Amino acid sequence: MQVLRKLLFPISLIYGLIVFLRNRFYDVGIFSSRQFATKTICVGNLSVGGTGKTPMIELLVRELSENYNVAILSRGYKRKSEGFLLSTEQTTVEELGDEPFQIKTKFPKITVAVDADRRNGISQLEKLIGPDVILLDDAFQHRKVKAGFSILLTSYDNLYSKDWYLPTGDLRDSKREAGRADLIVVTKCPTNLLSSEKNKIRESLHSKPHQKVLFSYLSYNTELKGDILTLDTLKVKNVTLVTGIANPAPLVKFLNSEGITFEHLKYKDHHFFTDQEIDVLKEKECILTTEKDFVRLETKLTNLSYIEVKHEFFDNTIELMKKELLKFMTTIS
């Protein structure tokens, strides 16, 4: 695969040129960006693959929902519906998409909507709900909307500053666009990350003076949800780990560190399981999966548990994020 990606380098140059021209057209006003009256917070990345956007959206919901009416707008990737859709108690995971459905299930009082047209989605939410703030999930590269506050995520093991354009690399947008972010979070760091390495990463990201660069790691809940309730119980079971996420490596590493033996069935991100695949999984003694995969599997399997994950910040720097959010939310537009 790596050899093939290198062979496709000429295509990545063409892709990079298209990205450059597109951004340039927005910069000079040939393409227009619209800013809305409702406060908007964008969470996104420059690369394809998992950087922890959904746990970050959940963190923002926890921080903001106590004092503000929060709505979430997502594309709803691979959903089996079209146009704008406002979730209700009857909305299915197939209609909403796995990540928005996961958030709606965890935060039932929060408004969750999906629309590939972010402008239309925001307009609909303003008209139907009138929220105080709209969280834009995976929208950093969607420049038709100018977000009021942008959080850019980049994974420790795949920093955008060291990446290259698709298909040779994983960049879907220019690394220069990082300058539009208000906050940069390096996610999925090792828990023993040294201050000296943080400084090297900050230098490599070429962050601007106004940008805060924070570092986080993934924290897994040892209390499981579903059929099996603790990690210790898994140690005496025949465990099958089922993942349909972009990067399961951190979870695999965590389970190995906990001394859990398992087989790993790895599927593509946002995978919807076929009847034949479900029949195979029904024969397994114990299935452990991610929260995102759980919402696609819970109505089809009984031998199923999932493990929750969230961002934890080094040196209590979460307080810096809270401060920046409060400043944004209390600023008069």
16 is in an annotated binding site: no
Residues 251 and 172 in one domain: no
Residues 243 and 323 in one domain: no
Residues 172 and 278 in one domain: no
47 is in an annotated binding site: yes
User: With pLDDT > 70 as the criterion, what percentage of the chain qualifies?
Assistant: 99
Q: Which amino acid is at 230?
A: T
Residues 133 and 102 in one domain: yes
Residues 21 and 137 in one domain: yes
Neighbours of 208 (CB within 10 A): 12
pLDDT of residue 1: 64
Looking at the predicted structure, is the pLDDT value of residue 296 above 90? yes
- Domain span at 204: 2-217+313-330
Q: What is the mean pLDDT of residues 22-51?
A: 95
Q: What is the mean pLDDT of residues 62-84?
A: 95
pLDDT of residue 228: 76
Cα separation, 19 vs 53, whole angstroms:
22
Q: For 140-188, how does the pLDDT look when each residue is reduced to its tens digit (9 = 90+)?
A: 999 999 999 999 999 999 999 999 999 999 999 999 999 999 999 999 9
CATH number at residue 298: 3.40.50
Looking at the predicted structure, is the pLDDT value of residue 86 above 90? yes
pTM for the predicted model, two decimal places = 0.95
Residues 113 and 171 in one domain: yes
Residues 120 and 267 in one domain: no
Q: For 91-121, how does the pLDDT look when each residue is reduced to its tens digit (9 = 90+)?
A: 999 999 999 999 999 999 999 999 999 999 9
54 is in an annotated binding site: yes
DSSP-derived pairing of the beta strands 286-290 and 239-243: parallel
pLDDT of residue 243: 96
pLDDT of residue 333: 64
pLDDT of residue 7: 87
Looking at the predicted structure, is the pLDDT value of residue 2 above 90? no
Mean pLDDT rounded to a whole number for the chain: 94
Residues 253 and 322 in one domain: no
Residues 205 and 134 in one domain: yes
pLDDT of residue 58: 97
Helix axes 98-106, 53-64, angle to 10 degrees: 30
CATH number at residue 32: 3.40.50.300
Residue 168 and residue 6 in contact, taking contact as beta carbons nearer than 8 Å: yes
Q: Which amino acid is at 319?
A: E
Cα separation, 57 vs 276, whole angstroms:
33
Residues 194 and 232 in one domain: no
49 is in an annotated binding site: yes
Q: For 262-284, how does the pLDDT look when each residue is reduced to its tens digit (9 = 90+)?
A: 999 999 998 989 999 999 999 99
Omega before 167 cis (within 30°)? Answer: yes
pLDDT of residue 62: 96
161 is in an annotated binding site: no
51 is in an annotated binding site: yes
Residues 143 and 274 in one domain: no
Looking at the predicted structure, is the pLDDT value of residue 49 above 90? no
Cα separation, 261 vs 311, whole angstroms:
25
Residues 226 and 184 in one domain: no
Looking at the predicted structure, is the pLDDT value of residue 229 above 90? no
Cα separation, 63 vs 183, whole angstroms:
16
CA 243 to chain centre: 15
Query: Domains in the chain: how many in total?
Result: 2
Q: Which amino acid is at 67?
A: N
